[in-house]
Amino acid sequence: MPHRNDTGENIISLSNATIAQKNFTVLTNVDLHIQKGKFCYLIGKTGSGKSSLLKTLYGHIPLAGGQGSVAGFDLAKMKMSLIPDLRRKLGIVFQDFQLLPDRTVEKNLKFVLEATGWSDSKKMDDRINEVLGSVGMKTKKHKMPHELSGGEQQRVAIARALLNHPELILADEPTGNLDPETSNEIMTLLKQVAIENNAAVVMATHDYHMIQNFPGEAIRCEDGKVTVLETAELFE
């Protein structure tokens, strides 16, 4: 069994953690504790460690030192064989959508369900309809990705992230390729699905206008350190 968090409340818990990539230390002495249901922005300049932190949280790169757990999985003792189990508890949304271009919206989502152990066709169809309905894309399930706008593709990507009832959504610049109006729609949607699913959201972004419009907590990566502050403090 994966090691569970002591509090039962924190979906992310890092203590004195070191984040490194390719033997280069990116962040040190990271203390970060995020509860279920929290909406947090991950901010910092390019190269400050945001992506490395996200990759550590979803098991793409190992925790280099200290203690850490995500969704009850102990990152310090994580075996490669457990990474798929961790990711089943997470929803991951990327800037460039990463939909499979050769299959419909419905088949994109079915591919993920089959890859994560679903086998009952009726249950898969029901879940696909449910998540597409929650992001306003149920009528587009037979479309190919190239037939959708960028905002519609990102809505499908969010639906895909919701398939396995995630406790945590990690979003890496999810509005980076979208115009301001569409970005606001996607932010409203992310906030809404987080509340409905009691999921925490950690979202990397450079867009300070959006942070002003949708306040939350901010996790700032700067000079190899991580600090947590309320977004209002960013604009004082």
Report pLDDT digits (tens) over 33-44. Answer: 999 889 999 999
Q: Which residue segment(s) compose the domain that 156 sits in?
A: 38-59+79-235
4 within a domain of the structure (yes/no): no
137 within a domain of the structure (yes/no): yes
Is the per-residue pLDDT at 119 higher than 90?
yes
Alpha helices in the chain (DSSP H): 50-57, 83-88, 105-115, 121-134, 150-162, 180-197, 208-213
27 within a domain of the structure (yes/no): no
Helix (H) or strand (E) holding 92: strand 90-94
Is the per-residue pLDDT at 16 higher than 90?
yes
How many H helices and E strands in the chain? 7, 10
176 within a domain of the structure (yes/no): yes
29 within a domain of the structure (yes/no): no
Closest by Cα among 40, 90, 78 to 226: 40
What total number of domains does the chain contain?
1
What digits encode the pLDDT tens for the residues 136-195? 999 999 999 999 999 999 999 999 999 999 999 999 988 888 888 998 999 998 888 888
Predicted TM-score (pTM) of this structure: 0.89
> In the prediction, which pLDDT does 74 show?
95
pLDDT class for 2, splitting at 50, 70, 90?
Answer: very low
208 within a domain of the structure (yes/no): yes
88 within a domain of the structure (yes/no): yes
CATH code for position 218: 3.40.50.300
Share of the chain above pLDDT 70, in %: 96
20 within a domain of the structure (yes/no): no
Across the chain, mean pLDDT equals 90
